[in-house]
Structure 1
Amino acid sequence: MIDSDYFVVLAVVGTMAENLKECRVPCKATTDELESLCRVEGVTCKDLGIRKHNLTEYEVEYLCSYKRVVPTEKLKNGMTPPPQEMFLVKWRGFPESMNTWEPRKNLKCVGLLSRFWDDLALEMRRQKRRAVPRRLDPATASHMVQRAKLHVTLGHWERKLTALNMQRGGGGRIFVRNDVDLEGPPRHFTYINDYKVGEGISLTEVALGCECTNCLEEPANGCCAGASQHRFAYNELGQVRLRPGMPIYECNKRCRCGPECSNRVVQRGIRYSLCIFRTDNGRGWGVRTMERIRKNSFVMEYVGEIITTEEAERRGQIYDKEGTTYLFDLDYVDDEYTVDAAHYGNISHFVNHSCDPNLQVYNVFIDNLDERLPRIAFFATRAIKAGEELTFDYKMQIDPMDAESTKMDSNFNVTGLPGSPKKRMRVECKCGVESCRKYLF
């Protein structure tokens, strides 16, 4: 049997190896190469999904090129038949050397055909051509193959991100779209769901939990928020009802209440389906929602490595030279720690700035009550329509007249997000709203 991750070698070598059932070694072949080998050799493989009933089935992986061919034979009435559309097909599980030209009538892959025409239309506009040629030239065909391979790569990444989000308990899918260029997933970025704690930093878990049976309607001693002398943060729909700047105290792992408790919102993860997309105005990647989001609803956390401010200063100098960095200060009470999402982070890594944002930051405490290490959560400032880009203000300000939020008032700021290192530089803003400040810093 051939496995996608390992070659399994069964060995019987007498009494010296009577306890050796199987030996595994890393496989240097990709899944596609293994699938191709199985089909060529006529071998079934349960792990690759190749069985007797589908061994000879052929699935289109992507379309490489296009041409219109005029049939040489005339119809019975003597008329010349219309041109026939032909597509160069890359078959899933087979090498590119086995690509074949197929007529449109043989292809049942409606989604792939639609994507091919969309990509070709974009390329025709880029070339300033009004009509699709009868046959694609080599350069255009090569570009179409690159676009097709990009879709495959982004599709793999999309499924991986969605699976990771599901592991956290979030119910939303994560989509990935790039209709602008050939940029693929970030090479040196690892998607994580929770903070990665840096060297020399420890998180102290909470020792006590609430005794409530219904935290929203019958909170015992004010529930977790009351125990910290703060207000209960959410209403019955899970919408935040505190003013920005005020901390949120959620129930923790030591509380008696269950996972569906009204005071467990941020810890449930991302609930909305979101899309990472490539912007067309030089802002790199962005994030938009695929569904409507209610005002004051939790959207996502800002996740990354927790590092000291000293380490942030050191990294900031490196990021400054590279022209990009993702440092977010945790200065709810003291400016001691920073979250760095440059190489480890979640979907918030891709959220862009706006001078008129639809996301607001709140400090949240769950299993760790150290006020120097709050969790950073984004809530919707207003109702957000499906398809709208999600943004927050990199230079967020809290109402200076709000005495209850003075801890977060003057210290809260984002440092070093794209193009803005620790040492302030004059960075042009590209958010495009009417109230744009023209510069991020």
Structure 2
Amino acid sequence: MAAAGAEAQRVWCVPCLVSLDTLQELCRQEKLTCKSMGVTKRNLSKYEVEYLCDYKVEKDMEYYLVKWKGWPDSTNTWEPLQNLKCPLLLQQFYNDKHNYSSQVKKGKVIMPKDNNKTLKPAVAEYIVKKAKQRLALQRWQEELNRRKTHKGMILVENTVDLQGPPLDFFYINEYKPAPGISLVNEVTFGCSCTDCFLEKCCPAEAGVLFAYNKKQQIRIPPGTPIYECNSRCQCGPDCPNRIVQKGTQYSLCIFRTSNGRGWGVKTLVKIKKMSFVMEYVGEVITSEEAERRGQLYDNKGITYLFDLDYESDEFTVDAARYGNVSHFVNHSCDPNLQVFNVFIDNLDTRLPRIALFSTRTINAGEELTFDYQMKGSGDISSDSLDHSPAKKRVRTVCKCGAVTCRGYLN
């Protein structure tokens, strides 16, 4: 069905009632291509190895069971080693085989030795699951990068277990208001500065300090609001007072943690101290709805409710289903990110945007964290933002591992 305006830009997703194998077969019958299912113009008529499923030796010849890209499992075939021109997939096959053996040893489970001619069924099953997981995470990574509107790229990595992409998470770039909540543009004035860093500008009009220095670093104490230039301002996109609105500039990686904390986020590049890293976005709901959802989340042991209590306690951001990379950022009692309230086009003090800035230099490969109680680096006041299952009903054990760990998330 054709749609006009903004509706035409939306992508609607619904659960599929048939298997991937069936969809691939249908595509081939109709000679249709679909990148997400691996059916391309290249392999409509040609065969391309997607991953290797199994191994055996017959008459001193090595064979691998091949899953062909864009073809259903029913078409898998045994191919001699000399026919395979895929060194990377061969390396992944043996890496997965080795990882399975390592996990078995850690679990103190004694596995019978391979006879070097066949793989044990459990090993082959693990290798296939790992290959399918790798493909699923790759598709998810591509989807995240299609949906994001900021400069920084998003990578996905899981070298820990067989967990795939979250099934009930939708990537968004800005607040999603629940029915009955308005986030309309309320700004009525803008600056006409020729140099916003030197002139009066929007922060002065709001009665607060200019938030950034010439290196685009935050220079105000936690608890102080940020007022950036808005859509009515005459300054251009390079204005030094337009930082948060540009979005994440750093490439980040959503990765599986190895100590039971689920997914986490690490930076792939060095981040200088006091730099803007990302916004915390989600569905904006009333505090009453947050109370109801909080009871459900408690039972699942999840924490995604962030109270917007900068000046009042009317609204909460729920990032459980709708969110961005910040959805996956873990708690730490000694965090490297700090929360600031930001106002740009919407000046309603009940609905600040939530920006996370680095508290120190963060090296490439280091995990990003913030304090869910907002009492970490910077000593933010207790009546500011609160990230917790509505009013902290149950105590959740903290696994941050910091020397100063309080033992609980709440």
Q: Could you state the TM-score of these two structures normalised by the residue count of structure 2?
A: 0.86
User: Secondary structure of 2:291's partner?
Assistant: helix
The alpha-carbon deviation at position 440 of structure 1 amounts to: 1.9
> 1:241 is aligned with what amino acid?
R
- Asked whether 1:59 is paired with 2:48, we answer yes
Query: Is the counterpart of residue 180 in structure 1 residue 167 in structure 2?
Result: no
SS state of the match for residue 298, structure 2?
helix
Q: Is the 2:335–2:376 Cα contact (8 Å) retained in structure 1?
A: no
CA deviation profile, 1:26-71 (whole Å, cap 9, x unmatched): x9778875655565x6x755776755x7654322212212335562
Other-structure match for 1:278: 256
Match of 2:250, SS?
coil
- Indicate whether 1:438 and 2:410 are aligned: no
Aligned-residue RMSD, C-alpha = 2.8
Alignment match of 2:135 (pick from 142, 145, 152): 152
Q: 1:329 aligns to what?
A: 307
Q: In 2, distance between residues paired with 1:296 and 1:179?
A: 31
Paired letter, 2:395: R
- Give the corresponding residue for 1:94: 71
Alignment of 1:343-422 (within 5 A): 343-397=321-375, 409-416=381-388, 420-422=389-391
Q: 2:398 aligns with which of 419, 429, 440?
A: 429
Shift of 1:435: 1.5
3-state DSSP of counterpart to 1:202: coil
Secondary structure of residue in 2 paired with 1:127:
helix
Instruction: Give the one of 190, 193, 196 matched to 2:173.
Output: 193
SS at match of 2:207: coil
Q: Deviation of residue 329 (structure 1)?
A: 0.8
Q: Per-residue CA shift, 1:211-249, capped at 9, x if unaligned?
A: 123322x43xx1111111212212233221211111111
Verify the 8 A CA contact 1:33 1:94 in the aligned structure 2. no
3-state DSSP of counterpart to 1:280: coil
Distance 1:32 1:393, change over 3 A: same
Q: 1:395 offset after TM fit, Å?
A: 1.2
Percent sequence identity over matched residues? 56
CA distance, structure 2, for counterparts of residue 372 and residue 322 of structure 1: 29
Paired positions, count: 387
Which one has the largest radius of gyration? Answer: 1
TM-aligned CA deviation for residue 87 of structure 1: 2.4
Q: State the distance in 1 between where 2:298 and 2:34 align.
A: 46
- 1:383-430 Cα shifts (integer Å, max 9, x gaps): 111111110011112899x9xxxxx622124343xxx55334222110
**Contact preservation (8 Å) 2:24, 2:72:** no
The gaps in structure 1 that reach 5 residues or longer are 6-26, 72-83, 403-407
Q: 1:163 aligns to what?
A: 146
**Partners in 2 of 1:240 and 1:321 — Cα distance?**
38
Question: Secondary structure at 2:277's aligned position in 1?
Answer: strand
1:96 is displaced (CA, Å) by 1.0
Report the alpha carbon displacement of residue 158 of structure 1 after superposing the two structures with TM: 0.6
Q: CA deviation at 1:132?
A: 6.8
Change beyond 3 A, Cα 1:396–1:100: same
> What is the alpha-carbon distance in structure 2 between the residues aligned to residue 269 and residue 335 of structure 1?
26
In structure 2, relative to structure 1, the CA distance for the partners of 1:415 and 1:34 (3 Å cut) is closer
Deviation of 1:260 (Å): 2.4
CA distance in 2, matches of 1:192, 1:87: 42
1:207 maps to what in 2?
A: 188
Aligned to 1:78: none
